Amino acid sequence: MPVHHRLMAENPEYARARVEIENMAFAYETGAATTDREGPTRIPVVVHVVFNTASQNISDAQITSQIDVLNKDYRAQNTDIGQVPPVWKPRVADSRVEFELATKDPDGQPTDGITRTQTQTKKFNTQTDDVKSASTGGHDAWPADKYLNIWVCPQIFDPQDPTNEILGYAQFPGGPAETDGVVIGHRFFGTTGTAAAPFNLGRTATHEVGHWLNLRHIWGDDDGGCSGSDLVADTPNAGGPNFGTPTFPSVTCMNGPDGDMFVNYMDYTDDKGMVMFTRGQVDRMAATLDSFRSSFNGSGP
């Protein structure tokens, strides 16, 4: 959200695009429009590994493990989906989105979908997007209309709270192409290698890619005021983020008897606590793939 607020203040084109994207999302949410997509949409991914030390230069296996998690989570095929409380099982939805490492680079040459860049930078700033540019110690984005750019880096921090390490961050649809994508710390990426508990099941990427597809946090980012909204009708309003592994029910904002949907990927629980997207969230993703990210429908590397 800090990235979103910065772009809204600084970038009039982003502000205009957000209005159009949200109008489309509202139409899909209310049933006024539906998707014509047939079968799954496959998203080519490029992972930019930006490392300061050799141990941060994560393996191909760690990267592959993350792609596997994304594919299971977005198709509702994750083995832990049985954790969804019975009251919410009918809301579980398959997004019909799949991910694969790119096989061709922007010049049309064969690639494994991975770039590797050693940097002198030990921490990357969410507000300056330094990891997304070679001139500031990172790696330039590949064309955002053809690839989901994922940067994996040593550490991430927000300058407003520089001592607090951030797991990852993303840019909503509608922003500048050169910064479009997802950034994740290497210790929160994939399920093997440097991935560290309790964020070692690949769910940070599932969450951040959700933002890339226009999903918001389930509590509406209103600082606990119970007045915010993620603009999705089938995710109960929550008082704020959940952490750790809550037990059902966890009631806030007069949302009893079932309480917060803390098993949703767009909450802040430990990786083992988040296991589902809802039908309403899938509608928002479909609206995005039919509008701002329509270049991924049937085209791309």
- Distance between CA atoms of residues 101 and 111, nearest Å: 9
Residues noted as catalytic: 208
Q: What is the dihedral of CA 286, 173, 167, 194, to 10 degrees?
A: 70
Amino acid, res. 32: A
CB-CB contact of 46 with 115 (8 Å): yes
Give which of 182, 187, 173, 174 is closest to 58, Cα–Cα: 187
- Distance between CA atoms of residues 277 and 266, nearest Å: 8
23 to 28, 233, 288: CA distances (angstroms): 9, 15, 11
CB-CB contact of 254 with 243 (8 Å): no
Neighbours of 135 (CB within 10 A): 7
